[in-house]
Amino acid sequence: MGIIVQENTGLFHLQSAGMSYLIQIVDGYPIHVYWGDKLKHREPMADLLIHTPEKAGLDRLFQEYPQYGSGDFRNPAYQVELEDGTRITELKYEGYKLIRGKPSLAGLPAVYVENETEAETLELELKDAYSGLKVILIYTVFADRNVIIRSARLSNEGGKKLRLLRALSASIDFLDKGDLEIIYLSGAWAREGNITRRALHQGETRIDSKRGMSSHQLNPFSALVAPETTENHGEAYGFSLVYSGGFEAVAEVDSFGSTRISMGVNSFDFTWLLNPSDSFQTPEVVMVYSKQGLGEMSRTYHRLYRTRLCRGGYRDKERPILVNNWEATYFNFNADKLLAIAEEGAKLGIELFVLDDGWFGKRDSDNSSLGDWYEDRRKLPDGLADVAERTNRLGLKFGLWFEPEMISPDSDLYREHPDWCLHVPGRRRSEARWQLVLDYTRKEVRDYIYDSLSAIFSSVPVSYVKWDMNRALTEMGSASLPSERQSETAHRYVLGLYELLERITTAYPNILFESCSSGGGRFDPGMLYYMPQTWTSDNTDAVERLKIQYGTSLVYPVSTIGAHVSAVPNHQVGRITPLDFRGNVAMSGNFGYELDLTKFSDEEKEIVKNQVITYKQIRGLVQKGDLYRLKSPFEGNESAWMFVSEDKEEAVVYYFQVMAVPNATRRTLRLDGLNPELEYEVWSGDHGEKSSYGGDRLMQLGLHLAYHQKDYESGWFRLKAVKAG
């Protein structure tokens, strides 16, 4: 396993425990040969190559990093404009380098290794002799994971300026696979994570964001699958971009039935000036191969992202159960009201109280004060520290909401620095939610935010931060950039954000940071590198959350998915669902509450107390176990999933039915991921009934489900292996 180089034929064989990826240099072009199930390495393997330049020309050549303008008319991976205005380059192979482990990427989040034996990295050097453009194609293969990670570094080694018009991270051609289907996550605010699956046909299928953020509408993830691929069977090829700005993923089927997929920073409204000796590093694409369906693809992503993308002290810690005051009070609160909620939370066993929006400046609604990060003494006469310390004395940790990337026109900061927002001179400044976006390309802006937040963190015992970002970028221009670099603004904004996040999370390693962007508007791997969990959606309705959380789990681990119980009627859709149903949905993520606990009846408080006790018992399994999706909410009235420990000796199963079914037959639920040789003790979390079954029976015949004639029915089961003797 690792990377095998066959120099006499120019073959590079990247091999993991269950996967092979082959590249061959032919006439100076790196050609994609194969990606799929593991192949034994043999001498020779060059006969695997189907097309060569002399046989087919560039338009049928399966290039690893294709260019446009010299015979390949499909989607290119890069495009460069020379100083004379021409746009023709032709990269040819110069050499290679093997590196043990996985180098970091300058200024960008990236998957990492803790031991260099985990992975090996190949760098292929390509160069255009005329312009001096050099491209390093970077490939990392993991020994025990079916993962290839790709990126590219483009450098100007000539004597004249070059302008990048496109610089994608990866491109790959699938030989004669014109019948593939594409799967991706679509939606909008409050309905993120919808799974879309459709056939690819001749032409392009484009998934992208032009919003300066990864977006609610489309996530920087896609998968190519065979038509027969299901949750547990068939091949799946996943592509996930570690980036938090505008992106593109394009799948193109050509006239010969081959499919090319490429992914990276969105080429729309993007250029990057490379002066002599300058370089540009693309974000990385995490590519996963599965021959056991979408479920195994997801679990590969989950294990990798949970342990080798997320970082910091909370990476391996169990996440606290919280209560957030937002839907309880909105902007209308005082210290006594906050402490009343925190006090009730302490009685119920909750561990963290989070003060959301409205504590700073003169923030009585969402039309002012963003940027004025100092406490509002009208609401909190004794300050934040008093609320936090009183919360701590109750036995709860204290958390705080910020929206540090935004500025309100009605704020002291804007009145002092009106040029600190993204804007274009002479053009209107488009407001969304009465706010503008701070120009994070500017160091002085980032320094101001760092100093403002640091002043609070150094005086208030903050254990958790909810970092929100509530609008997309418009008027993408910067007063600090020259005219020839204005179209670099969107990417420079993201780089500036990453620089600030690295700085602040390093300075405050004991704070649990949670990312938010009106919910899931920036739920992407780039943010997870700095913040190990994300507020998945502003929609807290339990029925809607079945789809949102199920879809999000296609690529993101459960440990990153924030899920809360909220009040009914639900504030987003008006639906009334039982407290146990809401709890079971929310316990399938990072668990919390977002309501006024003081308004609960004694009966409801008892339910909540039991939910908290239950989650504390199972959260290690939920947050770190392997997820098996059993029934999809996108396909019917029922949903089900389960979490299985690494040693397969423990599991917890959740089942949901949305609407009652008349004259229903007895139902069974076939489980997954268990050891067929083990005997499991199974007991219902709802009824306390206990039985023993073999793992083979539970997976082949299933678990019998009790049925009650009611809407919004849910149930859960715990499984533990019975020890011999």
- How far apart are the C-alpha atoms of 323 and 319, rounded to whole Å? 13
CA 475 remoteness from chain centre: 26
- How far apart are the C-alpha atoms of 16 and 425, rounded to whole Å? 53
- How far apart are the C-alpha atoms of 504 and 416, rounded to whole Å? 24
The pairing of beta strand 397-402 with beta strand 464-467: parallel
In whole angstroms, how far apart are CA 318 and each of 52, 256, 315, 559?
53, 51, 8, 9
**Are the beta carbons of 151 and 77 closer than 8 angstroms?**
no
Sign of CA dihedral 345, 350, 351, 356: negative
The pairing of beta strand 119-127 with beta strand 92-100: antiparallel
- How far apart are the C-alpha atoms of 466 and 145, rounded to whole Å? 32
Phi–psi pair at 667, nearest 5 degrees? -105, 150
**Are the beta carbons of 675 and 648 closer than 8 angstroms?**
yes
Q: List own/partner pairs for 636-645 with CB under 8 A and 24 or more apart.
A: 637/661, 639/546, 639/550, 640/669, 641/550, 641/553, 641/588, 642/671, 642/672, 642/673, 643/558, 643/618, 644/672, 644/673, 644/674, 645/621
Helices (H), 443-599: 443-457, 489-507, 525-528, 542-552, 579-586
User: For this structure, is 580 an active site residue?
Assistant: no
Write the burial class of residue 76 (CB in 10 Å: 0-12 exposed, 13-18 middle, 19+ buried). Answer: buried
Active-site pick, 208, 357, 468, 626: 468
User: For this structure, is 376 an active site residue?
Assistant: no
Active-site pick, 357, 376, 538, 672: 538
383: left (phi over 0), alpha (psi -120 to 50) or beta: left
- How far apart are the C-alpha atoms of 465 and 46, rounded to whole Å? 54
538: left (phi over 0), alpha (psi -120 to 50) or beta: alpha
**Are the beta carbons of 522 and 556 closer than 8 angstroms?**
no
- How far apart are the C-alpha atoms of 360 and 380, rounded to whole Å? 9
**Are the beta carbons of 155 and 279 closer than 8 angstroms?**
yes
Q: Collect all residues with Cβ–Cβ distance below 8 Å to 688 and sequence separation of at least 6.
A: none
**Are the beta carbons of 660 and 710 closer than 8 angstroms?**
yes
Largest Cα–Cα separation, the chain: 81
As annotated, the active-site residues are 468, 538
